[in-house]
Structure 1
Amino acid sequence: MKGYRMPDIHLDSTDRAILTRLQRDGRIANVDLAEQISLSPSSCLRRTKALEAQGVIAGYRAELDRDRLGLGLTVFVELKAARHSREVSRQVEAELTAIPAVVACHLVSGDADFFVEAVVPSLAVYEEVLLDHILAIEGVTSVRSSFALRTVLSRGPLPLDASLSKGTRSS
């Protein structure tokens, strides 16, 4: 396939320990991180900087409480496109990602072409987003919305240890 290549990143157990800990607390001081994974601070910093340079660590950000910010309604939207082409897909992607309420967007297989997660303060605001933005996208032929009743897990860390590849979850 054009443009596809296997990742050339090799993570040893120390790299995985750094990444696992940083996923739980991206603000941890390097000296504390180094102590928790039994490395010298200089070695830990060097490895962390290398993971950043390789793009394994894509960035750091604050996690915000949606409810406390008045964004308590999470909507999952399945979209179908009129035609399946790279051009239509790029146009729909560009317009979806320009909508501030959209916090995640995936091109998917199955009954829908796109799966979107939107966060809004109320059903009335979602109606505006749906009618004024999503349904206004040229090429969108069908929309189906589902509403989250309760969030069970929304920001789990990526599974980096070997036991998780066998279908088990550890804490």
Structure 2
Amino acid sequence: MPNLNLDPIDLKLLKELQADGRVTNVDLATKVGLTAPPCLRRMRTLEQSGVIKSYHAHIDPAALGYTITVFAMVSLKSQAEEDLKAFEDHVRALPDVRECHMLNGEIDFILKILARDLQSFQELLTSELTSAPNVSSVKTSLTIRTAKDEPGVPVPDSM
């Protein structure tokens, strides 16, 4: 993505949209001090440039029966690029794996996994993670509670 020169109005737009992605263009324009047409043009520019990647609802996992959140630290036997990509492709196909981040250090990847219960997590762990090609070890930690779950990116007032 090119280095965009975001002005304070663009940053206000991003802050407001991140707080409420369903805000109307008219309300958004009022909040950031514009009229509706230039507000919409700025939004489209932010979307087309890739600054705004998508819009989505932040759903409570428990409302859909996902009562367990697990972080899994995965070490691979080989860190050759093709092996890393193969592992990434493997976890992309697992719907319960919600995030996958490659790390430096002893652990190669950390995964955020949502599971309905311990049994479904254990099935995923044994059938899809520990048995995956090139996986050396998987260490897991179940969350006890979540103190903060804020989606998005911290948006500064100016850049």
TM range (shorter): over 0.9
Structure 2 Cα separation of the partners of residues 159 and 137 of structure 1: 35
Task: Determine the structure 2 residue equivalent to 1:70.
Answer: 65
Structure 2 Cα separation of the partners of residues 66 and 148 of structure 1: 13
Letter of the 1:57 counterpart: I
Are the counterparts in 1 of residues 73 and 107 from structure 2 also a CA contact under 8 Å? yes
Q: CA offsets per residue over residues 145-166 of structure 1, 9 Å max, x none?
A: 0111111222343112158x9x
RMSD: 1.5
1:109 to 104, 109, 125: 104
Are the counterparts in 1 of residues 12 and 157 from structure 2 also a CA contact under 8 Å? no
- When the two structures are superposed, what TM-score results if normalisation uses the length of structure 1? 0.89
Kindly report which structure 2 residues correspond to 1:42-121, keeping only aligned pairs within 5 A, or say none: 42-121=37-116
- Return structure 1 stretches of 4+ with deviation > 3 angstroms: none
Match of 2:140, SS state, is strand
Gaps of 5+ in 1: 1-5, 166-171
Are the counterparts in 1 of residues 29 and 39 from structure 2 also a CA contact under 8 Å? yes
Which has the higher mean CA deviation after the structures are superposed, 150-159 or 125-134? 150-159
Task: Determine the structure 1 residue equivalent to 2:150.
Answer: 155
Letter of the 2:50 counterpart: G
Q: CA offsets per residue over residues 111-133 of structure 1, 9 Å max, x none?
A: 20000000011111100000011
Task: Determine the structure 1 residue equivalent to 2:18.
Answer: 23
2:127 is aligned with 1:135? no
Structure 2 Cα separation of the partners of residues 7 and 149 of structure 1: 40
Task: Determine the structure 2 residue equivalent to 1:169.
Answer: none
Are the counterparts in 1 of residues 11 and 157 from structure 2 also a CA contact under 8 Å? no
Letter of the 1:20 counterpart: K
Are the counterparts in 2 of residues 82 and 140 from structure 1 also a CA contact under 8 Å? yes
Structure 1 Cα separation of the partners of residues 151 and 85 of structure 2: 29
- When the two structures are superposed, what TM-score results if normalisation uses the length of structure 2? 0.95
Task: Determine the structure 1 residue equivalent to 2:36.
Answer: 41
Are the counterparts in 1 of residues 73 and 140 from structure 2 also a CA contact under 8 Å? yes
Aligned length: 159
Gaps of 5+ in 2: none
